[in-house]
Structure 1
Amino acid sequence: MRILQLGPRCNNACIFCANALDRTAPAVATREWMERLAALVPTEELGVMGGEPTLREDLFDIVRHAKRLGVGRIVLRTNARRFTYVSYAQQLASAGVSGLDVGLYGSSPAMHDYHTDVPGSFLQTLRGIKHATAVGMNVITTCVVTRSNYRHLVDIARLAGSLGAQGVRFRAPEVIGRAAATRSRIVAPPELAMVHLRRVRAQAQRSGLDVSIDRALTVAVDGSSGVQAVDMDRTAKAWPARQEQRSRERRSGDELRDILPSLFDSSEDES
């Protein structure tokens, strides 16, 4: 797969974002993106990512141009929030988008929205996945494994399958950009995360859901110790951009109970 990266602009503010804290980048004209696209072909499969690619109003033009150049399959890496409008999903499918790789970071609104730092993003993402599958797109979800969600990976995979996703990918945080400033709060202990990743594998074998675990996490699952929970995606770029103004306030006990219920449940299943 070749990758076309459309810049850092995003409507989420994920706590593990690999982009720099300052996200201002010069706007790139549609014609320049098309020239960059021409340099990537021929290719059977093209991944289009951001930031959030659906924020570009010229995305339809870029997708149509890719199809004219002979690209067979086009996959968007997205939060799917704009797909909450079914007409948008239909138009992108008609333009030539074959599938989505959607970030899904929790099994509940509190858990997912904690990671994206956008209230309401969980419900929009779920609705977007449903609309994408309804118009014939293939969908996989990607979950960044963190200290705040590693106990719930089975639930996240089960939710993705129930929404019509064909597969789930689990990956470690890239500890660069914004994530570097919050590393101690986002990197899950590998020896604990691997317990839940093994459960995901077992559940997937029973359900038929395709599960992919990235290399940094796979080493932990296979039993090695001292794993660095960093999996650098070499197709990505840490863009300089706008300083996020959202503060990280302390969470109350009730809020933490909503986000991480198993921390308050002494009877957690150890099987």
Structure 2
Amino acid sequence: MSWVLLAMLALLALLQRGAAQFCSFWNNDCIEPLAQSAVPFSFQPLFPDPITLFYGFDASSSGKGQGPMTKTAFWLEYQDRNINKYAIDTNRTTEIGLRVGNLTGSPSGPNNGCDGIWGPGCSRDIKNAVQHGIFSLSSTGERYHRPLEIALSQMMSNPPPLESCGSQVFDVASIPVHEFIRESVPAQNATVMMPGSGYNPWQVWYIDDMTSHKQASQVAVGIISRSPTYDSEPPHSPDDIQVELVCIQAPQGPPTGSSKDHD
């Protein structure tokens, strides 16, 4: 076989690989991020090693044909086989939600960068509000699923008093939530979602009337909770519900060499 033919076959293989990896703007099973950021954070005692939140977005200047739109996604990466089973002492579920919109600044300081956005008092108020929302839900005795998702939905429809924050914290159209761990006793087992990636993001959603420049200025807030499931003993107090905040911001410009139609 001539070297010319070998070269042509190699080029064809590269082109096929690139085509297979490309993700269109309207494919909601993956994302080809115009901008992407990642931030590691601690989630002990369940995870002995840090876990990493990935957040990225793509953009279109035409969207649905009427204005700009962004496509947003998030996922976590972690050592899914390195779980501290000795921390499993009741049935729990762990979820993450991501809030995007109406929030700008530069992440810094404690609470995984969130204190630099709104101050330690606001971080404390938000965590307390989420803890109390899930505690109230778990104390009713009624069957429920995804307690963080329910609590956040209730707080968006009926914002809690957050004295140190202002009223805009839950003033967004949606906060997509994803469950990624289920703990069970007495076997001390944990069913763990496979870590995500750009070609296997956990949540993908679209934001109308958002340009890439505007979204790059936004701070995305990850809200993570480790909560009792409906079939577990109710927690003794809201403090028994673990809640963490993570603030992350996408890069301010597109990556070098991007040729896509982005605004």
TM-score interval, normalised by the smaller of the two chains: under 0.3
- Name the TM-score, length of structure 1 as normaliser: 0.23
Higher normalized strand content (fraction of residues): 2
Larger radius of gyration: 2
Structure of higher RCO (CA pairs closer than 8 Å, 6+ residues apart): 2
Structure 1 or 2: larger helix share?
A: 1
